[in-house]
Amino acid sequence: MKKVGILGGTFNPIHHAHLAMAQAAMEQYQLDKVLFMPSKNPPHKEKSEIASDEHRTRMIQFAIEGIPGFSFSDFELRRNGITYTSDTLSLLKEKHPDWHIYFIIGGDSLLTFEQWHKPEKILQYCTVLAAPRKKIKYSETKKLCKKISRKLSGNVLPFQMRQQRISSMQIRKKIKMGEELTGLCPERVSCYIKLHGLYGIQPFSFPPDCIKKQDINKCLSSTLKPGRYFHTLGVADTAVLLASCHGYSSEAELRRAETAGLLHDCAKYFTEQEQISICEKEGIDISPVEKKNPALLHGKLGAFFAKNRYGIQDSEILSAIRYHTTGRPDMSVLEKIIYVADYMEPNRHIDCTPYSLHEVRKTCFQDLDRGVFMIMENTLHYLSQQNNVIDEMTAEAYEYYAKQQTEKGE
């Protein structure tokens, strides 16, 4: 049997005590893993006080990333209607008959455990592990465990941990007072909260003209998924290399290439549906093709965020972000650099035709226009294979660079 711990809760937001609790349970009961399983907005809590499922999910993922044995589960979020723990556990057990489930709770929850929905059913499917929490010290947790175990004939066991006086409510209060969250939750979580303006604060934006690379990095690394973030770093580095090869090499130009590379996908942490609604809210036009293929929107929206969140005023940078997905006829040097860097950065591993990635990479360093053309040819090939509609801008750009290449060849 696999020993699997489940830590449920609203995680609104996740904090260090959650992590410590999962860690202590895992160590003391030799669990193979612990699943962090956020619940949907419970009916008895004020809706506006609870961050969306999407936000809470991202904060959890950021908080547990890289910690051995910890993983995220959207099992409860995906269920409809009221979710009772007893039902969740029985469904989980049905899906994973080889799991021995350990349901992790705070000792204070033991006080009301018997009033939960079907507590004996809960104990039929799992062992409950309880930690000392709030006013319930370890000795009392132990007593409560014994009492409930006996009364409901199940396994309720205590585990020890150093008590931490952290609660999500306290964090939300601190945020409203404008206080720092140091020591309460992982740095990436507090950055996420500020950047997105959760729990009633103004979304963070950089003051114009004082954007530092570290600040951009910090924001990106706490909003983008890890793979996307590494891609972004790859594009920034590649853009700087390309810029220095193609005479776009003053210090200011290199910095521009880097900034545009870093920010080109900054809107990509939103789901496609969210991107559509943000565009609608902000009055950013959506063409019918974009509506059908929302993957096309993140260039426009990225330029919008770069300007309004990151305080970028340089129109060259904004335009490079704007057109990085489709390209456009007669691009500026920086637009071309970002367009090709996006395709060829070292983390990309794609099988492409008619030009291999190796050929594309080599060419882009020698002849930028030819590189742009090759990528457009590959993209059109890919899109037609996928039966995808070609965006008007993509088509116009291709026509321009195809013509240019023929003229050059003549």
Inter-CA distances, 81 with 23, 50, 73, 118, 269, Å: 31, 17, 18, 17, 27
Q: 379 φ, ψ to 5°?
A: -65, -45
Gap between the Cα atoms of 134 and 97, Å rounded: 34
Q: Which does 326 bind (CB under 5 to 8 A by kind): ligand DGI, Fe ion, none?
A: ligand DGI
Q: Which does 389 bind (CB under 5 to 8 A by kind): ligand DGI, Fe ion, none?
A: ligand DGI
Are residues 136 and 107 in contact, defined by beta-carbon separation less than 8 angstroms? yes
CB of 253 or CB of 290, closer to ligand DGI: 290
Q: Minimal distance in Å, beta carbon 62 to ligand DGI?
A: 20
Extract the tokens encoding 94: 């049905």
Selection from 272, 256, 276, 253 nearest residue 264 by Cα? 256
Binding mask 273-312 vs ligand DGI (x if CB under 6 A, - otherwise)? Answer: --------------------x-xx----------------
Which ranges in 158-245 belong to alpha helices (H)?
A: 168-176, 187-196, 213-221, 226-245
CA atoms within 13 A on the CB side of 401: 26
User: According to the binding rule CB under 6 A, does residue 404 interact with ligand DGI?
Assistant: no
Strand-pair category, 99-106 with 33-38: unpaired
Selection from 154, 174, 113, 105 nearest residue 134 by Cα? 105
CB of 265 or CB of 335, closer to Fe ion: 265
Gap between the Cα atoms of 10 and 12, Å rounded: 5
Binding mask 356-375 vs ligand DGI (x if CB under 6 A, - otherwise)? Answer: --------------------
Gap between the Cα atoms of 368 and 370, Å rounded: 5
Binding mask 216-255 vs Fe ion (x if CB under 5 A, - otherwise)? Answer: ----------------------------------------
CB atoms within 10 A of CB 385: 9
User: According to the binding rule CB under 6 A, does residue 319 interact with ligand DGI?
Assistant: no
Residue 136, helix vs strand vs coil: strand
Considering only residues 204, 388, 402, 404, which one is a binding residue for ligand DGI as defined by CB under 6 A? Answer: 388
Residue with tokens 């009492």: 147
Binding mask 252-271 vs ligand DGI (x if CB under 6 A, - otherwise)? Answer: -------------x--x---
User: According to the binding rule CB under 6 A, does residue 233 interact with ligand DGI?
Assistant: no
Considering only residues 136, 342, 363, 377, which one is a binding residue for ligand DGI as defined by CB under 6 A? Answer: 342
- Size of site (CB under 6 A) for ligand DGI: 17
Gap between the Cα atoms of 402 and 405, Å rounded: 5
CB of 12 or CB of 379, closer to ligand DGI: 379
Gap between the Cα atoms of 374 and 357, Å rounded: 10
User: According to the binding rule CB under 5 A, does residue 87 interact with Fe ion?
Assistant: no
Residue 105, helix vs strand vs coil: strand
- Residue numbers 59-78 binding ligand DGI by CB under 6 A: none
User: According to the binding rule CB under 6 A, does residue 335 interact with ligand DGI?
Assistant: no
Q: Minimal distance in Å, beta carbon 325 to ligand DGI?
A: 4
Residue 328, helix vs strand vs coil: coil
Helix (H) or strand (E) holding 36: strand 33-38
CB of 73 or CB of 325, closer to ligand DGI: 325
User: According to the binding rule CB under 6 A, does residue 377 interact with ligand DGI?
Assistant: no
Considering only the stretches 141-149, 204-212, 236-244, 384-392, report the one whose residues sit in contact with ligand DGI under the rule CB under 6 A: 384-392
User: According to the binding rule CB under 5 A, does residue 342 interact with Fe ion?
Assistant: yes
Q: Minimal distance in Å, beta carbon 149 to ligand DGI?
A: 52
Q: Minimal distance in Å, beta carbon 273 to Fe ion?
A: 17
Q: Minimal distance in Å, beta carbon 264 to ligand DGI?
A: 7
> What share of residues in the chain are helix, strand, coil (percent, to 5)?
55, 10, 35
User: According to the binding rule CB under 6 A, does residue 394 interact with ligand DGI?
Assistant: yes
Interface residues with ligand DGI (CB under 6 A)?
A: 231, 265, 268, 293, 295-296, 324-326, 342, 379, 383, 388-391, 394
Interface residues with Fe ion (CB under 5 A)?
A: 265, 342
